Chain A
Amino acid sequence: MMSSYPFKRTCKEVSALLIAREDRELPLQERVALRLHLAMCQACPRFERQVLTMRNAMKQWRQYTSDPGDEC
């Protein structure tokens, strides 16, 4: 029998999933659990924004490394 809270995750588990998502596709059950947690939590959406900011930063840096203009 399934646990009554099959999608319940702690903030620590959610942080690990948010980092893991950068490198692999999460299984469906984890994606659902993540989404449900993010909808109810105050802190984790902030952590998610940090991860997304880093993703954006790496993209900008990658562009800069191959097309940095004439400045250096």
Chain B
Amino acid sequence: MTDADASPFDQQVATHRDYLLRFARLQLRNETWAEDAVSETLLAALSKPLSFANRSQLKTWLVGILKHKIIDALRHHGREVCVGSGTDDEQEDPLESIAFKADGHFGESPAEWGNPEQDLSSRQFFEILEACASKLPASQGRLFLMREWLELSSEEICKELDLTATNLYVQLHRARLRLRECLELNWFAHPRAT
């Protein structure tokens, strides 16, 4: 035994800290908030030890707790969560990343991304996806992941953050277009080994 004081359950829970922190950072985009959410998750888990058949089940349970702690944090920080970055990005038309002609037609037809069902469940793809999400401006990234990772409805997000629907849609729109561009550049445009 390496640590006389820690129970096997405590030790198992602790090994998942880095994994949980990765998603807390991605969603919260604030180191302190992320550390706090993960600490609260670990504390909640340790206070009600359960037995799990394997590591994977324990991890699933921990991620579930983390999501709740993260929603609490987002609600708590409210306004700070969705303030604009104040950069030029706020003014720029997000569709500028796609070349449209003056008459509204595509300048260049969108690329055929193929039928990448297999690719999309690969570890390499998820790494690119997470890297692209982490490159979004902070408020866009938070709102986007509230939709896509926390699976909140647009109505729920507006209510939790006291945000207008118009503001939310504009930010999500920008986030989705940026992500599309990033995935195209870093994944779909390049042939790769599978």
A64 x B126 contact (CB < 8 A): yes
- The answer to the question of B81 belonging to the interface, with a C-beta cut-off of 8 Å to chain A, is no
Residues of A within 8 A of B121 (CB): 60, 64
Across the interface, do B113 and A53 meet the contact criterion of CB distance under 8 Å? yes
CA distance A2 to B106 in the complex (A): 27
Give the number of residue pairs across the A-B interface with Cβ within 8 Å. 101
Q: Is the interface of A mostly helix, strand, loop or mixed?
A: helix
Give the segment of B37-45, B54-62, B71-79 that binds chain A. B54-62
**Given A15-B95, A57-B129, A49–B112 Cβ distance below 8 Å?**
yes
Residue A3, interface by CB 8 Å: no
Contact indicator per residue, chain B 151-173, by CB within 8 Å of chain A (1) or not (0): 10010000000000100110011
From A13, A20, A42, A54, give the contact of B179 (CB < 8 A). A54
Task: Identify which of B60, B117, B180 gathers the most chain A CB atoms within 10 Å of its CB.
Answer: B180
Among residues of B, the one whose C-beta sits closest to the C-beta of A9 is B104
Is A70 a contact of B110 with CB atoms below 8 Å? Answer: no
Tell me which of B56, B169, B183 contacts A67 (CB under 8 A): B56
* B168 nearest CB neighbor, chain A only: A23
* A42 nearest in chain B by CB position: B109
A53 / chain B contacts, CB cutoff of 8 Å = 113, 116, 120
Q: Does B149 contact A (CB under 8 A)?
A: yes
Do A66 and B63 contact each other (CB < 8 Å), given the known contacts A10-B104, A16-B95, A47-B110? yes
Known pairs A57-B120, A57-B125, A66-B60; A20 contacts B169 (CB<8 A): yes
Determine the distance from Cα of A22 to Cα of B138 in the docked complex, in whole angstroms. 20
Tally of chain B residues near chain A (CB < 8 A): 46
B176 at the interface (CB under 8 A from A): yes
Cβ-closest chain A residue relative to B61:
A66
Query: B172: nearest residue on chain A (CB-CB)?
Result: A23
Partner of A24, one of B116, B154, B176: B154
B157: shortest Cβ distance to chain A, in Å?
Answer: 9
Q: Point out residues on B near A: beta carbons under 8 Å.
A: 19, 23, 54-56, 59-60, 63-64, 95, 98, 100, 103-106, 109-113, 116-117, 120-121, 123, 125-126, 129-130, 147-149, 151, 154, 165, 168-169, 172-173, 176-177, 179-180, 183-184
